[in-house]
Amino acid sequence: MKNEKSIVAVVAAISSFLTPFMSTALNLALPSIGTEFSADTILLSWLVTSFLLASSALLLPFGRIADIIGRKRILLNGLLIFGLSSLMGIFSGSINHLILLRILQGIGSAMIFGTAIAILTSVYPLNERGKALGINIATVYIGLSLGPFLGGILTHYFGWRSIFLFSGVTGIITYLIAKRFVLNEWCDAKGETFDYFGSITYIISLVFLVYGFITFTSGGSIFILASLLFGSIFIHREHKTENPILNIKLLTNNLAFSMSNLAALLNYGATYAVAFLISFYLQSLRGFSAQDAGLILLAQPLVQAIFSPITGKLSDKVEPRTLASLGMGITCIGLVLFSFIKLDTSIYQIILNLVLLGFGFALFSSPNTNAIMSSVERKFAGVASAMLATVRILGQMTSMAIITVLIAFYVGNNPISAEFSPLFLQGITASFKVSAILCLFGIFASLARKNIRNQK
């Protein structure tokens, strides 16, 4: 059992590394892809959008399917789909082909993130779970950290296709390890039926919602309204059906689960755009190169990767609610400090604040994940894992929508130049102020939940 726990931890860690690495590495390769395929900015943006739409919409259905037919089975299929679609990317002959493969990668990613954390929760008891989840979350941040660095090296020396080769080979190797050494299967909801109608309405609602966020400044609000309509149909359906894909009672009757997810939503909504804003500030307003800006921005995810296992292990002994709330408070302080950023702010001050944000997020994320996964019955582990991943994506989309609206409000259609730098700076500082307010609400959401220490 001990060996299996270690194997599961390794498989889950590599699986959780792949998606953030692929996403951040590919961002650096977009100019090269655009040049090779003569693709415009809109088509290139679909390399990101198509992945987000597929993964966000399918997370919850695959989490529910995993609870019914087996989490290892869904994870294996997810790794296989992700690995093969990545390898096929090497032979792409057009931008449309590459977009199709990114959709397949999104499907594989949904299967991975809908099960990896659930399997960890199934294998590790409550008193060891935080440490395992902390290590897993650290690998996500390592993927975020290595993506721009390793992606830049691969693209520069071997071309953008080498990113797909690296991700594909890693995915297939992980699949083979899991297939050979993970012997048990976990399907705590075995025998229950799958709600197809609920899944369809949910998928439509999420696709419209994510697409609405992405196109918010160009008429996307109509898709958000359509999403609310289908979301209402979905919730009504889930109240009526015997075996829903999302048990509404998890949200209405389980305060620890609902408030922990709300805290995660507010946290991601407040923090995801930090890298975008600071990158924009360093390159467009301060004249730093992309490489130098990337090195400065590494401070935050590196601190998160270092401290996440530590805070995760600590949450096995200290109530996760307390640690997560403290982490949210530290993050809020970091956002407030950034709201006073100026054109002559010291780079060392910016780095120190990124370190502060990284520590705050590490203190929040691992304990909060532990709280979510420990607040539900084992048969809902897949759904809980998928719900957390969905909340993360929605928070990220919310964060980008907020800053897009604020930057547009302050800057309008003016070009990025020294003449208009005060307007851009106003937009950036306003974005940090709104983010800090979101984080403040997140503190109250985190404190409002019940303790989980005495539950299971």
| pTM: predicted TM-score of the whole model, two decimal places | 0.80
Closest CA to 377 of 189, 110, 185: 189
> Could you tell me if 382 and 190 are in contact, meaning their C-beta atoms sit under 8 angstroms apart?
no
260 vs 19, 52, 108, 117, 386, CA distance in Å?
A: 23, 23, 26, 16, 14
Environment class of 455 (CB within 10 Å of its CB; exposed 0-12, middle 13-18, buried 19+): exposed
Q: At what angle do helices 126-158 and 2-37 cross, to 10 degrees?
A: 30
Instruction: Name the least confident of 22-36, 94-108, 124-138, 410-424.
Output: 410-424
Give per-residue pLDDT as tens, 217-274: 677 789 889 999 999 998 888 888 888 887 787 778 888 888 888 999 999 889 888 8
Question: What is the distance between the alpha carbons of residues 177 and 187, in angstroms, rounded to a whole number?
Answer: 20
Residue bearing the bigger pLDDT, 348 or 409: 348
Q: Kindly report the backbone phi and psi dihedral angles of residue 243, in degrees, each rounded to the nearest multiple of 5, phi listed first.
A: -125, 80
When pLDDT is averaged across residues 330-348 and rounded to a whole number, the result is 93
Question: What is the distance between the alpha carbons of residues 288 and 236, in angstroms, rounded to a whole number?
Answer: 52
pLDDT at 456 over 50: no
Residue bearing the bigger pLDDT, 395 or 328: 328
> Could you tell me if 283 and 416 are in contact, meaning their C-beta atoms sit under 8 angstroms apart?
no
What confidence score (pLDDT) does residue 288 get? 80
- Max mean pLDDT among 39-43, 93-97, 132-136 falls in 93-97
With the CA atoms of 417, 423, 426 and 427 taken in that order, what torsion angle do they form, in degrees rounded to the nearest 10? -80
> Could you tell me if 223 and 215 are in contact, meaning their C-beta atoms sit under 8 angstroms apart?
yes
What confidence score (pLDDT) does residue 79 get? 95
pLDDT at 2 over 70: no
Neighbours of 197 (CB within 10 A): 12
When pLDDT is averaged across residues 429-434 and rounded to a whole number, the result is 92
pLDDT at 97 over 50: yes
- Max mean pLDDT among 301-315, 379-393, 432-446 falls in 432-446
- Max mean pLDDT among 26-30, 193-197, 278-282 falls in 193-197
Using 50, 70 and 90 to split pLDDT, how confident is the model at 156? confident
When pLDDT is averaged across residues 282-311 and rounded to a whole number, the result is 82
- Total length of the chain: 456
Q: Give the whole-number percent of the chain exceeding pLDDT 90.
A: 25
Give per-residue pLDDT as tens, 351-391: 999 999 999 998 998 888 888 888 888 777 778 888 888 88
When pLDDT is averaged across residues 328-332 and rounded to a whole number, the result is 94
pLDDT at 1 over 60: no
State the chain's mean pLDDT as an integer: 85
pLDDT at 346 over 90: yes
pLDDT at 172 over 50: yes
Give per-residue pLDDT as tens, 4-50: 788 888 888 898 898 888 877 887 787 788 888 888 767 777 887 78
Give per-residue pLDDT as tens, 386-427: 888 888 888 877 887 788 778 778 876 665 556 677 888 888
Question: What is the distance between the alpha carbons of residues 266 and 396, in angstroms, rounded to a whole number?
Answer: 10
What confidence score (pLDDT) does residue 413 get? 65
Q: Give the whole-number percent of the chain exceeding pLDDT 70.
A: 95
